[in-house]
Structure 1
Amino acid sequence: MPSTVTSHHRDIETDRHARTRITVTTTADATAVTVTGDLDLATSPRLRDRLDDELKLRPRALIIDLDAVGFCSSGGLSVLLEAVTNAHARGIPCAIIATQRAIIRPVKLLQLDRVLPLHSDRAEAETWLALVARLR
Structure 2
Amino acid sequence: MDVRQEARGVVLTLRGEFDFDSVVQLREAGEREPVNDPGAGPVVVDCGALSFCDSSGIGALVRLWQQLSAQDRALRLSCVPPTVARPLALTGLDRILPVHADTEAALAADDHRRDPADRERPARPTERHHP
TM-score (norm 2): 0.75
Q: Which residue of 1 aligns with 2:98?
A: 117
Equivalent residue number for residue 20 of structure 2:
41
Compute the displacement of 1:45 (Å): 1.4
Deviation string for 1:7-42 (max 9, x for gaps)?
A: xxxxxxxxxxxxxxx001112321111011111111
Counterpart of 2:31 in structure 1: which amino acid? D
1:107, CA displacement in angstroms?
0.8
Q: Could you say which residue in structure 1 is the equivalent of 2:36?
A: 56
- In the alignment, structure 1 segments of 5+ residues that lack a partner are 1-21
Matched, 1:26 2:5: yes
Which whole-Å CA distance do the structure 1 matches of 2:82 and 2:41 have between them?
Answer: 29
Decide which structure has greater strand share.
Answer: 1
C-alpha separation between the residues in 2 aligned to 1:101 and 1:88?
26
Counterpart mapping for 1:6-17 below 5 A: none
Matching residue within 69, 73, 83 for 2:64 = 83
Is 1:103 matched up with 2:84? yes
Q: How much does 1:132 deviate? A: 4.2
| Aligned residue type for 2:89 | K
| Alpha-carbon contact 1:29-1:61 (below 8 Å) kept | yes
Contact 2:4 2:10 survives alignment (8 Å)? yes
For the 8 Å contact 2:98–2:111, the answer to whether it is kept is no
| CA RMSD after TM alignment | 1.7
Gaps of 5+ in 2: 113-131
Which structure carries more relative contact order (alpha carbon 8 Å, separation 6+)? Answer: 2
**Among 38, 52, 75, the residue aligned to 1:71:** 52
TM-score by length of 1: 0.73
Q: Paired residues, what number?
A: 110
Larger Rg belongs to: 2
